[in-house]
Structure 1
Amino acid sequence: MIKGVNLFSGIGRKLLCWFLLLSILPIMVVAILTYRYARETITNELINEEAFIAEGIKNHILTILNAGEYSSQFFASDEFIRRHLEMLNNNPDNKHIIRKFNDYMVYKTNLNKDFYETFVLNHAGIIVASSNKKSIGRIEFGADYFTYGKHGTYVKDVYMNENTGEYSIAFAAPVLKKRGGKFLGVLVIRFNANRLNEIVTGKKTGIKDDAGSFLRRGMTSEAYIVNKNYMLITSSRFKENAILKQQSKTEPVTIALNYGKEVTGVYKNYMDKSVIGATRYLKKTGWILLVETEESEAYSPISKFKNRAITVVGICIVAVIFISFFVSRGIINPIILLVNGMKRVAQGDLNFRLETNLKDELGELTASFNLMTDDVKDSREKLLKLKADLEERKEYLESILRYANELIFTLDTHGNFTFINPKIKDWNYSEEELIGQHFSSILPDKQRKNIDQVIYNSSARIFEIEVLDKQKYTRNILLSTSLIKNIKGQLISILGVAGDVTELRRLEKKLVQSDRLASIGQLVAGIAHEVNNPIGVIYLYSTESLKLYEKVTNSLKLISSIPISDNANQLTEVINNLDTGLNTESRKDALKKELLHIVDDLNKYCKELVQINNVVNKHRAFLYEYLEGSVKESVRCKELISGLLDFSRQKEPEMGMSNVNDLIDNVLSVVEKQYRKEKIEVVRMLENNIPNIMMDARQMEQVIINIANNAVLAMKEAAGKVEHLGTLRKGELTIGSRFHPERECVEIFIKDTGIGISKKDLSRIFDPFFTTRKDGKGTGLGLSISYGIVKMHDGSIEVESEVEKGTTFKIFLPLKANKEQELSVVKL
């Protein structure tokens, strides 16, 4: 063995442990599985045997119970018993009848050796005849065999007879008159309950003269019966005087009494010992039969097997230890040689090689070591050559940096300059002045609050910022920064590239000023056109309303000129004359003429009123129409002004982290039902991996609702174009989301199957007051407001449309929006 090799440390100990584990574990697993199989086999065989015994005992007990019930019914139907009981009911003091009746009861009792006593109770519950003369005259009115026996066959549970001290079972049956079925009394047979002991435990005499008895099995096996009061009604093998004294409220007894189910398996018996048993439920009497054997006795045959298995495993462990020792020795020695060889190579001896005669894996490992040493030697020579190439490339890159037209610099992790190319001299700085200074030293005060956003920006964005040259003049630059990290992902430096755009921004301002004046002129013209139309309508309706007002007023003046009050005074005078009693013929004729004259006048006035009413109603309808039109046009003016105010007062968004999927669900929960009423099918297409983004949720909800409402109106218009074909076109509105990791943005798309937008109108849809609606209800500001909101979120809107097929709006929102940034060039 090589000096320093210890088989009980390091790899030697590991090999030894693995040999032991892989060799002994299967043996132990087989032994445990065999033991468990033997245990389960014994348990199943014993359960089946005890279930068979329990079934046999159950059938024997049922045979006895059925025989007892039959005997009681047979005796109760005996004509002699019925006739003599009826005689005693009529003449209870007839001693001759009593004597004959008692002798007959003795005869009946002697027919079966297990009958203790046979007696008859009259209709009052008094024993009038019995095979036991001491029982005659005893009142049993409250006994359950009398209470239940007079209604039909009844079996009384095991009880101790108070007069004889015998454990008995009572079978009762009603005695009825043959004709008419009149109740005469109850016949009771008191049966020997010890017969149950002989069935379940066997006779204690030790003589096997009863083929119907089931003998005990083993030293701990036992069979017994429990009644519905949880009391043993047969003897216990292990406890004296257990009948009606020992309680057995065990799990199988409780299950049988509560659910009527029979249990087989392992459980605790009434002595709280684990047993393997089987139960049978006798529904007729509510008894539970249990046949049990203690687990300790049941599993005793496999205890020897367990001891033998332990001995075999121990011998195997000793053998494996010796075998493992020698096998490990043959593996470790070549490994030690390899370790020593690697140490020499690590010290720089690249000419060292190992020699071996092994043909196994260790031999292959040694050969691989020699090849590795050759590769290391070649790699070292290549590295030296690569170093020279890198020196040359370094010089080349320094030349590029020195003569570049853009300012290139690097910062350390704290934001201090570590390198600046000579382009900085255009700002009248020297490289030595700024090396070691913080980047914020060349920024104006208002820009310094956003310095971290500029320096540590991880996205590929271009920031437009203001800087100060050495003379403190402001310059506009486009700045791009990149974070440089090591292999572990730790930040080690920051690379920056800046381009001066000061002169370019000065020219842009002039162009923006001129374009703004043109936009204001176009906007004013649009406002004048949109507001002038409803105002003209309102003016027309107002002038027509004034004319109608004059006509209605003139009609009302005619009503006031009708002399209805004069006719009323004349009519009052006529009535007063009637009351005076001047009823001469001449006076009556005069009054009659006067009344007819008044009636003619009233009819004339009524016709005039009807004509006036028709005129008023006619003009009132026109007046209502004009006023209603004025109100509608006023509302339209109000909507135009309100939309214009919203367009001009777009407030800054209140940014917060939100998820566009939740945003879409919130919007659809409000509008989906209304869309479906209009036969628009709403489809959600939401991706599951959408990240949260910074946005104003309420403003973005407004954007989605504006675009979705326009889509619904477009689909309704498309459906109206095909109504003449006799079909109803069903529109489909699809709203969904997508995540674009390469663009670092989230997309919300809204697609419809409406009439589409022509190429001519597509370039104007975001212009203020532009609308394609023909009903005059659109203000043309919805998409303009939506466009402004998206822009304030640092986002963009794209539109794809095809006439007669539909339109798709795509809203792109960045993952990290900034109020002060634009999409491609961010102004700070």
Structure 2
Amino acid sequence: MKMAAPHQESAREKKFRHILFWKVSGILLLILAIEGGVTGTVLYFLYGLKGDAHVINYAGHLRWRSYEMPYLVNRHFAEGIDRDASRRHIEERLKEFENILYGLRDSNSSLGLKGVKASQQMPSVVVPLAATGTLPGEEALWARLTNHINKYEEGVKPAIIQALNTPDAEERLTILSSYDMPGYVMDVNQTVKLFSEESNKKVARLQIFLFAYLGVIIAIIGATHFLAWAFVERPILEVHRGMQALVKGDLRQKIPVRTRDEVGELAKGFNVMAGTIENQLKEIRSDHERLNNILANMGCLVRVINPETHKVSLQNEPLNTIIPDGLKRPCYNLWKRDYECDRCVCSEAIRNNAHRWKEEITPEGVVYEVHAFPFPNPDGTMINAIEVIRDITAKRRMEAEVEESRMQVLQSQKMAAIGSLSSGVAHSINNPLSGINLFSDVLLKKVDTLKDTPVYEEFKKGLTEIKDASKRCETVVKDLLRLSRVPKPETLPVYINETLEHTLNVFVPQLKLLKIQFVKEFSPTLPKVLGSSGQLETVFMNVISNAIDAMPEGGTLTVKSMYIPAEKKVEISITDTGCGISKKDLPYIFNPYFTTKPPGRGTGIGLSSALLTVQSHRGTMEADSEVGRGTTIKVRLPVHQSTLPRA
């Protein structure tokens, strides 16, 4: 198997591939840059909110511890309290309070305060790294936190330690009251609220940013969709619509060329291809129409056949009028058959790669001359044949008519010669026969005077035989004269069925005696013919007499009459089931003096005389016979035009 050569990429294809690569790469990089920037910004905000959440959480602890300290100190001096354990508990709480204060101030990582730094404006104040800059509200918050630390170091812690060391309750209350502990607690509580408000502002800014981010994403998606529709989807859909139109056979639809990229080049190439195909199809249609016109006007029926499948793949217009659905039916249906041809000239033409021909006759009597030629496929295979069919019915009919006329002329010439000869012979013999008859009659009368003599019987017998022989000679002479002088038929309308009925009535007793069955099949709508009823009756009597002679042991005699519209003739057929006539004798049965009967049973004048009578009526007479099966004599006579049945 021959392998296809590898495809060599052209410069245009390389250019298209590079353009497509950089387009896809640029779109991907743009999407990645947008996604990276937005994701970094979101993480930046979330990281800042995480720091704010930690700050708010520890500020809340400060507030709780500030509420708890006075209560713990007062509880320390209550009765039944283990003061050592209570003091350790108060010191632990102070330590936690200090850790929170100093941790917020010093960004203690143990508290989870990662990502904070000291403000440039306030070195002692820490701010979340998540913020974009140090805001005035945040500076105020961290200033309040510094103030809380200072108050704690200068007042709250010393006052609590001093109160723990003072057993007197009034003095302890004076010590704690000396420093405004409720005010400190309220101040811390306000700081926590401010931290929460500031964090809520950041959350609100983050929400605005997220909504803006969502709007940007929607805008990007919309713009991407529009660009994809304008530069990718729409050109591809237009190419697809063009392809669908091409599939449906619409080559006039052009694809708009909107870009200079590969899609635009594809649309341009598609339009060029569609135009090329349209031009080629126009040429093909023109050639097809020219070929159809040639095939339609060549005066023949033409078709292409696959003899293996009996399928017709092409037929010209004249053949379409005869068999419109010929492409869907087997090829032999043209001959009005439902079975394959005995001889397929298409198969012979393909097998021998040569011209073959034959004649086909349909049941209606149409004669076709079929010529078959091998019809190779473009790849050289030979599975089809082209048939050129001519209707030669008229030609064959004309040939038959010419042959019939020639035979009639020959028969007429032969009968004329025989008639002329017979007439001369009859006249030459008739006078001596008259003398023989006359003298035989005279001698028969005189021999009666010799009755008493011994020679009387011998003389009378001899004279009687002479008399009989002369009578037979007279009969032959009359037949010769009748053969030589056929009277002209009368030109009167004759109803053939009535003539046949009258003829058959004569033979009814004889048919019954010989046990011959009689079948009549007369057409009730038979038109009349012009001629002599008596002469035609003589013709039918001669034929029926011969048929009866052919069935000495019985049989069937069938007489039919029918009208043949195609020939405008009446046909009378007389069929017997007798011994039949051999093929070698059949061509001579209408010749004068020819007979197949035993000697002494026939003169051979009956059928020849009948033929002359039928021909004088402008008719024809033919015979068909088979030994052992019987004989059929057909007489055809032209009809009287005024009595033709109406269509």
Q: Aligning the two structures, in what range does the TM-score lie when normalised by the shorter sequence? A: 0.3 to 0.5
Q: Which has the larger radius of gyration?
A: 2
Q: TM-score, normalised by structure 2?
A: 0.32
Is the helix fraction higher in 1 or 2? 2
Is the strand fraction higher in 1 or 2? 1
